[in-house]
Structure 1
Amino acid sequence: MFRPKFSAVLFDCDGVLVDSESITNAVLREMLVELGWKISQEECISIFIGKALKDQWEPILENTGVRIDEAWIAGFRNRRDVALREKLQAVPGALDAVKEVSTLYGGKIACATGADRGKVEMQLAITELAPFFGDHVYSGMECAQSKPAPDVYLAAAAGLGIDPAQAAVVEDTVTGVTAGVVAGATVFGYCPGGPISSTKEKLLAAGATEVFTSMDQLPGLLSQE
């Protein structure tokens, strides 16, 4: 009989539950080009994925002479959300994996993201993942610091009433893995491959305990006989 290895499972959202990173990054790159930065897709991925846009104003200022403000970020979010509503899909296998993990853990799961709440709640609704997380959706934008700081994972653990050291975290970026490790959790790195994906080596170097490549592997990693 399988039983849970941890007290709860805390999922990142973008790149783990929903296949949003390429969509969001394409909109961001388009807007940076409009500011005069001839940034490549590879550069845009390297600089911005996994990080809060508001914290990345310095490279934008350096390359465009523009200090982005809340109005610019709001414009980005509007364009991003239009693109997500048109194109967003769940990560392959994520819906089944979340369903199985939620059953195994008696609903003790949460979504802890660096993204703004409006975005994550929209994405979970579009992909039919929202019912599994209920009220346990946590945004780093609502914490003192976002990832790589541990705040959002500490908030999620507190919301579930568990010790963060007894939590499993599922992440796909170095920034997110770092946040989970600093929170004291055991971090599983998701590495499906492709231009958006962080490498196995980078995830392990950041402190991931194990790296997996397909969502159908996850329930087994989180259970013991």
Structure 2
Amino acid sequence: MSSSTTSDDNFGPVINTLTALVKDWLQSLVDSLQTYRHLVGVPPPHPSYPLPADFPFGSLSQVFHWVQIFDDVNQVNRSFRVRMSLFEGRTDRWEPLLWSVHSGNVVLGSVELDRRLYADQSVVSIDPIFILESLIHATTFHRKIVVSSRIVLLAPTSAAPPSASYIWTEIFEIRRSDNNELIKELGRRSTMSQPRFCPTCRVWLPQAGPPYCLQHLP
């Protein structure tokens, strides 16, 4: 990341401008993917086209230039290279996958994906558009967001017969990492049978993944 040195008071508008440009860039990538999937008559050569074939498991970068105007007298030429990177974690430890959008050591947003959801994908499809749209959410909040699931026991709906039992439901959702605020619910999966639980702490476990919670893997 390169720019002229400014005071900390002036750096906020720089980050805000860069974030807005990055969100436009990410949205343009989503629009391009959707265009080739649904509007162009010829099938794309691979599912990630026009992005690289390995996306979202590769990296992307883009340079942004603009003139930052502070007042009638002061303005500065800005140039920032932004990178989209992936930290894959350890597969044998079921560590999450982490995508981040950053410029130098400034992280504009990141998406942490529970590896158990990636292994499953029966409810949530982890494709390039999903990752890009999640990164747009992350850069909006300038925070890490977490894609995961939780298991709850829900009462039958009012339309259910009186004999209906409680239903075990796995809820797939996106939440902020800093305050656990719900950003978006992605889907639900229900079952009448009791789900697995961690033998160490008795936390309910998703259908996919190891027979322990991630904190108590042997």
Shorter-normalised TM range = under 0.3
Identify the structure with bigger relative contact order (alpha carbons < 8 Å, sequence gap 6+). 1
Report which of the two has the higher share of strand: 2
Work out which of the two has the higher radius of gyration on C-alpha atoms and give 1 or 2: 2
Q: TM-score, normalised by structure 2?
A: 0.26
Q: TM-score, normalised by structure 1?
A: 0.25
